[in-house]
Amino acid sequence: MKRSRTLLEKRRDYVLNYINTNQAKQMKVVVAELSDSLFLTERTIYTIISEGLSLEAKA
């Protein structure tokens, strides 16, 4: 199933904002919380994080 680009962008923005607001927690805990709330695998979340960091580095 193909996802719309806007949905993927909103999901990426949500994940990155959630991580920024919960920086005091360990990354493993934050990823577990995101996995539970968004029904995504941990690997997908780490992929979103790495893509988001690479996009921020380019900007």
Which pLDDT does position 53 carry in this prediction? Answer: 80
Whole-structure pTM value: 0.82
**Pair 47, 15: CB distance under 8 Å:** no
List CB contacts of 59: < 8 A, sequence separation 6 or more: none
Would you give the distance in Å from CA 3 to the centre of its chain?
16
User: pLDDT averaged over the chain?
Assistant: 90
Which pLDDT does position 1 carry in this prediction? Answer: 61
Which pLDDT does position 59 carry in this prediction? Answer: 63
Regions of the chain where pLDDT drops below 70:
1, 59
List CB contacts of 17: < 8 A, sequence separation 6 or more: none
User: Domain map of the chain by residue range?
Assistant: 5-58
Query: CA-CA distance, 31 to 37, in Å (whole number)?
Result: 10
